[in-house]
Amino acid sequence: MTPSEVLQFAKENGARQVDVRFADIPGLQHHISYPIGELSEASFTDGFGIDGSSIRGWAAINESDMLLIPDPSTAFMDPFMETPTLVMIGDVRDPLTRQNYERDPRWIARKAELYLQNTGVGDTAFIGAEAEFFIFDNIRFDQNAHSGFYFIDADEGRWNSSREKDNKGYRPRYKEGYFPVPPTDHYQDLRSEMVNVMERCGLVIECHHHEVATAGQCEIDQRFNTLVKTADNMMTYKYVVRNVANQYGKTVTFMPKPIFGDNGSGMHVHQSIWRDNKPLFAGDGYAGLSQMALYYIGGLLKHARALSAIIAPTTNSYKRLVPGYEAPVNLAYSRRNRSAAVRIPMYSASPKAKRVEFRPPDPSANPYLAFSAMLMAGLDGVLNRIEPGEPLDKDIYDLSPEEMKSVPSMPISLDEALECLEEDHQFLLKGDVFTEELIETFIDYKRRNEAEAIRLRPHPYEFSLYYDI
């Protein structure tokens, strides 16, 4: 929609508030609301003033004034607010220079798209992201000087099979939750309602289903779109999932690994490059790929350890990315084989469906930064003709120790991932997509506020291991 069309849309839907949203560096969405009378066509150029000093990873207090410019193409009516509310995603700008703010994740994603066009490799990057999540009934957690704990409960959790009251017995076994019909799948209706609301917000949904883990692990798949639009859609996807669950008295988490001993939640990311409405990843090479696609895979694999800090950016991510537990930690590529970091889906022979799927990412990632970083790695592979090596079509977990030594792997901790990003990030700086300052800020924030914070605190299991030592 154009600005004038947005104003008409707001009028037709009786909007009384306008809500403008943006994301911080870790990927949490923020918002600010105004009476609808404050929105005019001038708002789409003049913007709204905000204080950026309290946003994680943003400006210091002496440079806190920012402008938030609503993007009319993102407009939809909020399906949850009692007061009719028009929602738009905003771009952040410096009020003095009127330039886009270099730490705005959405601007980084826009620059990644521009860089692709400037390279001449293609004009459009299509991204399809599959974010998994858990639906719980109750969550308790705390950490202080003398105690630390978390407690999860989910009616669908297999551990409730011994419960004495209100027990109907239908629950997915650990690691056996893939595609069961109701009543074992407790959340068919809830997911259907999530899909209904997503479609009202403009998302295009392809399917939904229960995932592998017990305790309400689910997945809802969106139709692929351009890089920035897919990142925008992922923010709306999370917003809808959380709020529909909340309406039903449930709570949702996108933590990669909330449950010990069962599958974690990933965000497999499908990627392809097009030019002039033609797919460039289809060809007569391995698995029907073009040489460009193979080079793209080469870039992903070469930079995967550095990418890990951005696409699996939490300490909890590395409780999912554990060698030997069916996680995609091995830096190899294969058709169909889901134990490889890069998979080439083989569902369709259509050139338009040819794509590569990068499997290490998880939904704790900031989608604007994650999608941009993966595109930059892939483009580095294309521009520098990085060969991906031989495909690995065997079951990785059947390889001998000698064979496994030749297969590199993802980092095993956030600390290691941040070190890898420090050592290998020149590919991200091409075209000024990422800046040195942004990468330094990201690493410093993650190291001080997450990696070191976890390292300083006793873990409950340490008492089991060491209390009587």
With 0-12 CB in 10 A as exposed, 13-18 as middle and 19+ as buried, what is 372? Answer: buried
Report strand pairing: 85-93 vs 17-23: parallel
| Active-site choice (91, 113, 219, 380) | 219
- 419: annotated active-site residue: no
Catalytic residue among 98, 223, 336, 338: 338
Among 5, 38, 46, 51, the one annotated catalytic: 51
Active site residue: 91, 130, 232, 380, which one?
A: 130
Beta strands in 195-352 (DSSP E): 205-210, 217-222, 225-226, 251-253, 267-275, 278-279, 330-335, 340-344
Cβ neighbors of 201 (< 8 A, separation 6 or more) are 76, 79, 236, 240
Query: SS3 helix, strand, coil % of the chain, rounded to 5?
Result: 40, 25, 40
Please check whether residue 35 is in contact with residue 9, taking contact to mean a CB–CB distance below 8 angstroms. no
Told to judge if 326 belongs to the known catalytic residues of this protein, a careful annotator would answer no
| Active-site residue, selected from the candidate residues 91, 104, 262, 357 | 357
d(CA 446, CA 441): 9
In 3-state terms, what secondary structure has residue 173? Answer: coil
Residues 151, 259: contact at Cβ < 8 Å?
Answer: no
**Is 359 an annotated catalytic residue?**
yes
Q: Among the options 320, 355, 359, 447, which is catalytic?
A: 359
Q: Single out the catalytic residue among 91, 132, 185, 362.
A: 132
Provide the 8-state DSSP code for 251.
E
| 3-state DSSP assignment of residue 152 | strand
Based on the residue annotation, tell me whether 132 is a catalytic residue of this protein.
Answer: yes
Q: Name the one residue in this structure whose structure tokens are 């705390």.
A: 142
Q: Is 357 a catalytic residue?
A: yes
Concerning whether 232 is annotated as a catalytic residue, the answer is no
387 is catalytic: no
**Annotated catalytic residue 416:** no
Q: Is position 38 annotated as part of the catalytic site?
A: no
The catalytically annotated residue of 156, 211, 232, 450 is 211
Per DSSP, helices labelled H in 28-154 are 43-46, 105-119
Q: Which residues are catalytic?
A: 51, 130, 132, 211, 219, 268, 338, 357, 359
